[in-house]
């Protein structure tokens, strides 16, 4: 969402996006609102218009909006499962994994955006792997949910890479490989913070 607002859409569309996302942020970070409200909020149908002077296409914006809608839908699905199991939602800080990846993002455009999209691809791909590994050990409802996520996360992985390449004037493979080395170090080194994308549990 922040990527679109910062880089690509006109002012009115940025306002629409802000109003769309605000209830999710309020719930996620301040525990304001409820699941019913969020599910109603996800019926976002307004057209998001690219800036007149933006180097990015309307097709790119439409693709990113679709990705956002799918991720918010998944968030609501997780909340539904938690509610059925009597698990109270709690906000938790980002893991070392995400912080470690983003610390290597370049500081000039369009490379900043390209790097962030590549990181998004790695997060989706690693999620696929971990959903697949964990699903056989989960209750049937959670296992089914994890397997359903595998298809969308795999598609999102490729979407992020396609978006990154469409923005770049050069082959992004070397940058993908560089983040691959960074990501491999993060998931294979000891990690004191146990989360979905954690490294090896520290002793």
DSSP-derived 3-state class of residue 172: coil
* Residues 122 and 157 grouped into a single domain: yes
* Residues 203 and 107 grouped into a single domain: yes
> Whole-prediction pTM value?
0.81
* Residues 32 and 78 grouped into a single domain: yes
What pLDDT is stored for residue 86 in this prediction?
A: 92
pLDDT for 179 beyond 80: yes
Q: Encoding tokens for residue 49? A: 């218009």
Q: Measured between alpha carbons, how far is 65 from 57 in angstroms, rounded to an integer?
A: 13
* Residues 54 and 102 grouped into a single domain: no
Lowest-confidence region among 99-108, 151-160, 175-184: 151-160
pLDDT for 7 beyond 60: no
Which of 91, 125, 151 is a domain's end point? 91
pLDDT for 173 beyond 70: yes
* Residues 110 and 123 grouped into a single domain: yes
What domain range includes position 59? Answer: 1-91
DSSP-derived 3-state class of residue 181: helix
Average pLDDT over residues 157-163: 89
* Residues 83 and 104 grouped into a single domain: no
Residues 6+ apart with CB under 8 A from 128: 150, 153, 154, 157
Q: How confident is the model at residue 39 (pLDDT cuts 50, 70, 90)?
A: confident
Q: Measured between alpha carbons, how far is 74 from 147 in angstroms, rounded to an integer?
A: 13
Which of 68, 91, 114 is a domain's end point? 91
Average pLDDT over residues 120-135: 92
Q: What is the domain count for the chain?
A: 2
Beta strands 200-201 and 190-191: pairing type?
A: parallel
Which of 91, 116, 134 is a domain's end point? 91
Q: Measured between alpha carbons, how far is 115 from 175 in angstroms, rounded to an integer?
A: 8
* Residues 1 and 34 grouped into a single domain: yes
Q: How many CA atoms lie within 13 A of 29 on its CB side?
A: 8
What pLDDT is stored for residue 187 in this prediction?
A: 93
* Residues 109 and 22 grouped into a single domain: no
For the ranges 11-25, 76-90, 116-130, 169-183, the one whose mean pLDDT is highest? 169-183
* Residues 58 and 5 grouped into a single domain: yes
* Residues 87 and 109 grouped into a single domain: no
| E strands present in the chain | 190-191, 200-201
* Residues 103 and 48 grouped into a single domain: no
pLDDT higher for 8 or 21? Answer: 21
Neighbours of 101 (CB within 10 A): 22
* Residues 49 and 149 grouped into a single domain: no
């Amino acid at each position: 969402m922040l990527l679109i607002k910062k880089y690509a859409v006109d002012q009115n569309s940025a306002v629409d996006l802000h109003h769309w996302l605000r209830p999710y942020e309020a719930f996620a970070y301040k525990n304001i609102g409820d699941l019913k409200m969020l599910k109603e909020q996800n019926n976002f149908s307004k057209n998001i218009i690219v800036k007149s002077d933006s180097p990015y296409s309307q097709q790119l914006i439409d693709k990113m909006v679709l990705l956002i809608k799918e991720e918010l839908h998944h968030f609501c699905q997780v909340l539904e499962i938690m509610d059925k199991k009597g698990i109270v939602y709690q906000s938790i800080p980002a893991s070392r994994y995400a912080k470690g990846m983003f610390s290597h993002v370049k500081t000039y455009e369009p490379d900043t955006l390209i790097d962030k999209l590549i990181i998004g691809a790695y997060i989706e791909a690693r999620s696929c792997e971990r959903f697949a590994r964990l699903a056989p050990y989960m209750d049937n409802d959670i296992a089914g949910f994890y397997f359903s996520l595998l298809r969308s996360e795999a598609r999102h992985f490729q979407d992020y890479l396609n978006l990154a390449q469409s923005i770049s004037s050069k082959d992004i493979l070397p940058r993908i490989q560089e983040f691959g080395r960074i990501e491999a170090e993060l998931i294979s080194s000891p990690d004191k913070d146990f989360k979905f994308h954690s490294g090896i549990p520290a002793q």
